Amino acid sequence: MTNDKVLSLLGLAKKAGKLKSGEYCVEEELKKNRARLVIVAGDASKNTSKKYEDMCNFRHVPIVFYAEKDSLGKCIGCEERAAVVITDDGFSNGIMREISKQNT
């Protein structure tokens, strides 16, 4: 894993209890309107990507496709993860800011 600020922020969010991972947890946070940002691995299956994209669009939650499943899992101390959800505005804004910096 390289020195990636987005992945570092995801690790901090996990330690702070502001990140949930796994299919059930991501869906649960979306349904309870606690999701502030959903990050889906770039190598997730088309069905998985579409499912989360549809759920996020319906609930007006930002969604980002970033990194690979392996990297998403490692940065939060887990196995591979196809998706994670951020439940805090501060972490969500910080992650979006870092992603936009990388894309410019």
pLDDT in tens, 49-87: 999 999 999 999 999 999 999 999 999 999 999 999 999
- Residue 104 above 80 pLDDT? no
Q: What is the mean pLDDT of the chain?
A: 95
- Residue 31 above 70 pLDDT? yes
Tell me, what's the pLDDT at 3?
66
Q: Which domain holds residue 53?
A: 5-102
| pLDDT average, residue stretch 89-98 | 97
Which amino acid, 56?
A: C
What is the pTM (predicted TM-score) of this model?
Answer: 0.94
Query: What is the 3-class SS of 29-66, one letter each residue?
Result: HHHCCCCCEEEECCCCCHHHHHHHHHHHHHHCCCEEEC
The CATH number covering residue 39 comes to 3.30.1330.30
Share of the chain above pLDDT 90, in %: 94
**What domain count does the chain have?**
1
- Kind of pairing, strands 63-65 and 19-21? unpaired
